[in-house]
Amino acid sequence: MIDRRASGILLHPTSLPGPYGIGDLGPAAVKWLDWLAASGCRYWQMLPSGPTGYGDSPYQCFSAYAGNPMLISPDLLIEDGLIDTPDHPEFPDDRVDYGAVIPWKSAVLDAAFDCFRTAPAPDLYRAHAAFREQHRAWLEDYALFMAIKEDRGGGPWWEWPDELRMADEKAVAVAAARLGLEVERQMFRQFLFFRQWDRLRRAASQRGIEIIGDIPIFVAPDSVDVWADPHLFHLDDRRRPTVVAGVPPDYFSENGQLWGNPLYDWAAHAADGYAWWIERIRHTVAMVDVVRIDHFRGFVDYWAIPAGSPTAAKGRWMDGPGRALFDAIETALGDLPIIAEDLGELHAAVPVLRDELGLPGMKILQFAYDGDPKNDFLPARYPENCLVYTGTHDNDTVLGWYRSVPPAERIRARRALRACGPATTIPHRMIEEAWRSRAIVAITTLQDVLSLGTGARMNIPSTPSGNWRWRFGEDDLTDRTAGWLRKLNRKTGRG
């Protein structure tokens, strides 16, 4: 639970360094935990950890339950005796080249699976069997979905033959029998992911670090969640979305953000006591210590865009489930450590629901310097029960933001942050401002700790490609920077 002043850093595991082209759950992650503990921070915040689809976005995953196989560490596979040290291409150090990484990592995972099948170690065999039994409720559907997808050349499920697209029972059974080995391969990848995840979670706990996970409110259209449970979404009789998710024009985009996710049929969810959501939350809180729910306002009302619209500019607001969903979750699971992402233009009922539930919301310091004395992002206006961020994955880095805003905003920011040095000092001044605030938790990105510019930005909303690529270098985590953060944590009562 969030029960005392603390701090943390937002960093997705893909951004960790290492020779294999993408950050993973192996030794570099443990080294990162050591540095984070030395800095006096309590929280490691991540983005969603599911298997990514379109645009490599962690907010567009093939499953709300599965883990991303690209995060599996080859080094830990070597320790398990599943592979020899693999040859690998000369991947770039500063970014993820998904086009090169995905086929290479997939071949490594296939080699590990072949070893497991032909010469399974008894302890791995028992652990694998226990994992399959524990996660049976979602694992078999996911593995079959992915096996069919790969068999169909990776195309989305709505392009499959009609009997598979409609999940005809007989056709699905035939596919499961024909693709049995591929189904086993997919389940084995999930076993590896969760085996390594559990190891990393224990390492974090041993160092006093808690993990903040992230649940996107919506699921991806090309996901097993929609394919296996179409009755829970607004689809037509051909299982195509009738309306899709997004947000109207806002700070980030003049045309809004067209996410394209199918929208929930909340009446169908209510009819079975919100069982799907309860199980989704149960699964996530078993993996992490605190859960951030992205786009919390969607539980009050959400922007419904007619399917096929070119932008998110035209749509209508529809009512969400409100408190009924959270009452059902609390009845089933108890009081949970949840963060409400409550950014953007909000219906008046959103903060009311957030406060009734006692959930902390979010504040972004980059939004504080527009000159409006009633701006709720000004630190003087923060309630204690909130998290303050210098910026999130959707923002530019602080240095990039500072260099891009109008001169008047830069002047206001300098005055508020008491900054008198060059632009490169602004990120640390903003971190200090966040840490001094009343917010119970202060979070910054590693990019801002390292005072990096726009080139290190993680995501530009509404751009379909080129995101989620940034990685830091082996030598970027210094004792000096950890010491600065540790001193700041102690000075501001967050250590």
CA angle 134, 139, 145 (to 5 degrees): 175
Strand order, beta sheet including 316-319: 257-262, 243-247, 301-306, 316-319
CA distance linking residue 147 with residue 43, whole number of Å? 36
Residue of 182, 294, 396, 432 marked catalytic: 294
Q: Is 394 a catalytic residue?
A: yes
Residue 415 phi/psi, 5-degree rounding, is -65, -45
> Counting every residue, how long is the chain?
495
Token digits for 383? 């309630």
Token digits for 108? 């490594």
Burial (Cβ within 10 Å: 0-12, 13-18, ≥19) of residue 266: buried
**Residue 443 region by backbone torsions, left for phi larger than 0, else alpha for psi between -120 and 50, else beta:** beta
Other residues' Cβ atoms within 10 Å of the Cβ of residue 23: 23
Q: Is 341 a catalytic residue?
A: yes
Token digits for 321? 């489930």
CA distance linking residue 131 with residue 125, whole number of Å? 10
Token digits for 157? 């499920």
Residue of 342, 394, 396, 432 marked catalytic: 394
Q: Tell me if residue 360 falls in helix, strand or coil.
A: coil
CA distance linking residue 150 with residue 134, whole number of Å? 25
Token digits for 390? 């210098």
Token digits for 196? 């390594």
Kindly list the distances between the CA atom of residue 37 and the CA atoms of 46, 202, 208, 485, in Å, as whole numbers in the listed order.
Answer: 16, 14, 7, 10
| Beta strands at 316-319 and 301-306: parallel, antiparallel or unpaired | antiparallel
Strand order, beta sheet including 386-389: 338-340, 290-294, 210-216, 43-45, 6-10, 441-445, 386-389, 361-364
CA distance linking residue 355 with residue 348, whole number of Å? 12
CA distance linking residue 284 with residue 111, whole number of Å? 29
CA distance linking residue 326 with residue 349, whole number of Å? 15
Residue of 225, 341, 342, 433 marked catalytic: 341
Residue 256 and residue 298 in contact, taking contact as beta carbons nearer than 8 Å? no
Residue 188 and residue 118 in contact, taking contact as beta carbons nearer than 8 Å? no
CA angle 116, 117, 118 (to 5 degrees): 95
Residue 87 and residue 2 in contact, taking contact as beta carbons nearer than 8 Å? no
By annotation, the residues acting in catalysis are 294, 341, 394
